[in-house]
């Protein structure tokens, strides 16, 4: 059983709901994000509902790489070990390439890819030392293909983190350290509000329930919710680029 779980980007959306679901399963949590007030409120809520667990919170901007290592190490010391780390912090802002949106795209690339590398480095360093652990990287269904318009950089970062996770998995094959890549479809969150519904979008509760079940199985890869995203993923990978560009 993975008792102590660290989640980055736990102040909103999927990270916040994963914290709720794992707390309900009796797990202790290490939660970080930039908005400490929201983490503190979440900690109070979780401890009131599940008094037997431990919930540690710390402020962290994942693009501050040195702090990522410091905060992960501090959480490990506070909880007496980390059994699972979920690299979840991320954002979907983007502009079409070549339209003066470089600053926005660079911010997405730094948060979703470079900072994810820092988080993987910090987590796997701890797991190698403990000789056990489960690294979970939250990619996206948008990693299946190169995507147009404002999705181009985002999709590339999510393909990048999926490749990063697969490489780490290859490096650790045959060891007690496991690596899972999660590819969520559209799930309501702060970044994806219900008012701006996208096709096939599910509620935060429904989407995260599927994510948590997939994470607990510890398989190498999971597209969630499996229906309809496994067949949609197949279509995305095999459809002509013109069709992908039109329907994405
Ligand atoms: N929702 C979807 O449909 C969907 C689909 C596929 C993949 N995903 C992925 O799922 C993950 C969570 O997304 P979400 O939809 O839950 O988004 P969200 O509601 O906007 O939440 C994003 C979380 O990431 C944190 N975060 C963002 N930048 C950060 C930074 N520099 N340092 C630390 N924390 C940071 C935010 O916290 P602070 O602002 O407090 O720092 C927040 O807790 C992302 O990796 C996203 O790409 C989401």
Tens of pLDDT along 158-211?
Answer: 999 999 999 999 999 999 999 999 999 999 999 999 888 788 999 999 999 999
The single residue of 113, 127, 154, 183 carrying the catalytic annotation is: 154
- DSSP for 102-165, please give it: HHHHHHHHIIIIIHHHHHHHHHHHHHHHHT-EEEEEE--GGGGS---GGGHHHHHHHHHHHHHH
Distances (CA, A) of 215 to 135, 179, 203, 211: 10, 10, 18, 6
Residues 6+ apart with CB under 8 A from 156: 109, 146
The Cα–Cα gap between 120 and 103 comes to 24
Does the annotation count 154 as an active-site position? yes
pLDDT of residue 15: 98
Residue ranges around ligand 1 (CB below 6 Å):
8-15, 33-35, 60-63, 88-92, 111, 138, 140, 184, 186-187, 189-192
Atom of ligand 1 nearest to the CA of 61: 32
H or E element that contains 227: helix 226-238
Closest protein CA for atom 42 of ligand 1: 9
H or E element that contains 224: strand 221-224
Q: How far is the CA of 14 from the centre of ligand 1 (A)?
A: 7
Mutate to test the pocket of ligand 1, among 9, 64, 120 (most ligand atoms within 8 A of CB): 9
Q: How far is the CA of 92 from the centre of ligand 1 (A)?
A: 8
Closest CA to 237 of 136, 130, 155: 155
Tens of pLDDT along 148-160?
Answer: 999 999 999 999 9
Helix (H/G/I), strand (E/B), else coil: 18: helix
Averaged pLDDT for residues 52-73: 98
Cα-trace Rg, the chain: 17
Cβ 126 vs Cβ 76: under 8 Å: yes
Residues 6+ apart with CB under 8 A from 126: 72, 73, 76, 82, 85, 133
Mutate to test the pocket of ligand 1, among 32, 91, 136 (most ligand atoms within 8 A of CB): 91
Q: What is the mean pLDDT of the chain?
A: 97
Cβ 219 vs Cβ 180: under 8 Å: yes
DSSP state of 202: B
Provide the pLDDT confidence category of residue 75 given band limits of 50, 70 and 90: very high
Mutate to test the pocket of ligand 1, among 191, 199, 210, 214 (most ligand atoms within 8 A of CB): 191
Closest CA to 116 of 208, 181, 178: 181
The Cα–Cα gap between 87 and 9 comes to 8
- Enter the tokens of residue 112: 């979703």
pLDDT of residue 196: 82
Tell if the pTM clears 0.85, that is, is over it.
yes
Tokens 């479809």 found at? 185
CA angle 111/115/119 to nearest 5° reads 140
Averaged pLDDT for residues 68-82: 98
């Amino acid at each position: 059983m993975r008792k102590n779980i660290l989640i980055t980007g736990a102040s909103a959306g999927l990270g916040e709901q994963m914290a709720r679901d794992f707390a309900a399963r009796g797990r202790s949590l290490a939660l970080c994000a930039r908005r400490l007030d929201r983490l503190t409120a979440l900690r109070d809520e979780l401890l009131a509902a599940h008094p037997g667990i431990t919930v540690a919170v710390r402020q962290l901007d994942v693009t501050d790489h040195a702090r990522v290592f410091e905060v992960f190490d501090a959480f490990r010391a506070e909880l007496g070990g980390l059994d699972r780390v979920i690299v979840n912090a991320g954002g979907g802002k983007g502009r079409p390439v070549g339209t003066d949106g470089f600053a926005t795209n660079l911010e997405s690339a730094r948060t979703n890819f470079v900072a994810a590398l820092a988080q993987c480095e910090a987590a796997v360093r701890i797991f190698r030392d403990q000789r056990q652990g489960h690294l979970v990287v939250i990619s996206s269904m948008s990693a299946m293909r190169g995507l147009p318009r404002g999705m181009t950089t985002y999709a590339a970062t999510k393909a990048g983190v999926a490749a990063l996770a697969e490489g780490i998995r290859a490096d650790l094959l045959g060891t007690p350290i496991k690596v899972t890549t999660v590819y969520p479809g559209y799930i309501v969150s702060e970044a994806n509000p219900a008012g701006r519904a996208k096709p096939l979008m599910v509620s935060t509760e429904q989407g995260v329930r599927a994510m948590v079940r997939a994470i607990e199985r510890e398989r190498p890869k999971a597209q969630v919710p499996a229906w309809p995203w496994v067949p949609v993923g197949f279509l995305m990978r095999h459809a002509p680029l013109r069709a992908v560009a039109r329907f994405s």
